[in-house]
C-alpha cells in the first residue's frame, strides 16, 4: 500500500515545534514559580538543567514527528528543530523579563541536537522492530517461551 510513502504533514511539523517550545515554556515557568528555592543553586547548574530540558524537549518532539515518516528521518528531525527555533521567539522568549542571550544559545544548540537524537532513536526503533519481525527473538523472549528464567 502507500505505507512506504508516509511523510509528516505541515501540521505534524508545527505540532512538533510547538511541543518542543511548550515543554521549555513550562520549565521556565516552573523556574520562575520556584525562584526563591532555586536562588540558592549555582547559576551553572540551572543552565545545565535548562540545557537538558531543551535537549529532551527537542528529542521528544522530533521523535514524535519522525514516527510519522517512513524515510528521511534525519531531514524530518532537523526540520522539526528548525521550525522549533523559528517558533521560539513567539512562545518562549516573551515570558522572559529581560532578553537572555544564554537561553538563545542553549536553544540554538539543543534543539538541533535533540532533533538529530530524536531521528536517531526513531531509526533505531524501526530497525529493532524489523529484526524482531524477521523471526529473531527479542531480549527475554526465550525465557518467556521456555516458561521462565
Q: How far is CA 32 from the centre of its chain?
A: 23
pLDDT at 55 (0 to 100):
98
- For the whole model, what pTM was predicted? 0.82
Which domain range does residue 114 map to? 2-146
Give the three-class secondary structure for 147. Answer: coil
At a CB cut-off of 8 Å and minimum separation 6, what does 22 contact? 91
pLDDT at 137 (0 to 100):
55
Cα–Cα distance measured from residue 33 to residue 27, given in angstroms and rounded to the nearest whole number: 10
Give the three-class secondary structure for 48. Answer: helix
Per-residue tens of pLDDT for the chain, all 149 residues: 455 678 999 999 999 999 999 999 999 999 989 988 888 899 899 999 999 999 999 999 999 999 999 889 999 999 999 999 999 999 988 888 888 899 999 999 999 999 999 999 999 998 888 766 555 555 555 544 555 55
At a CB cut-off of 8 Å and minimum separation 6, what does 67 contact? 122
Cell 523471526 locates to 135
Candidates 141, 113, 8, 142; CA nearest to 55 is: 113
Total domains in the chain come to 1
Amino acid at each position: 500500500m502507500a505505507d512506504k510513502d508516509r511523510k509528516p504533514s505541515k501540521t505534524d511539523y508545527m505540532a512538533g515545534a510547538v511541543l518542543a517550545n511548550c515543554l521549555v515554556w513550562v520549565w521556565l515557568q516552573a523556574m520562575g514559580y520556584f525562584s526563591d528555592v532555586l536562588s540558592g543553586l549555582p547559576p551553572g547548574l540551572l543552565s545545565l538543567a535548562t540545557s537538558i530540558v531543551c535537549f529532551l524537549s527537542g528529542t521528544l518532539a522530533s521523535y514524535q514527528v519522525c514516527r510519522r515518516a517512513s524515510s528521511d528521518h534525519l531531514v524530518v528531525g532537523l526540520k522539526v528543530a528548525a521550525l522549533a527555533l523559528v517558533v521560539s521567539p513567539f512562545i518562549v522568549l516573551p515570558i522572559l523579563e529581560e532578553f537572555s542571550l544564554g537561553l538563545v544559545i542553549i536553544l540554538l544548540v539543543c534543539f538541533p541536537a535533540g532533533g538529530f537524537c530524536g531521528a536517531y532513536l526513531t531509526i533505531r526503533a524501526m530497525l529493532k522492530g524489523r529484526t524482531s519481525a524477521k523471526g529473531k527473538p527479542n531480549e527475554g523472549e526465550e525465557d518467556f517461551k521456555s516458561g521462565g528464567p
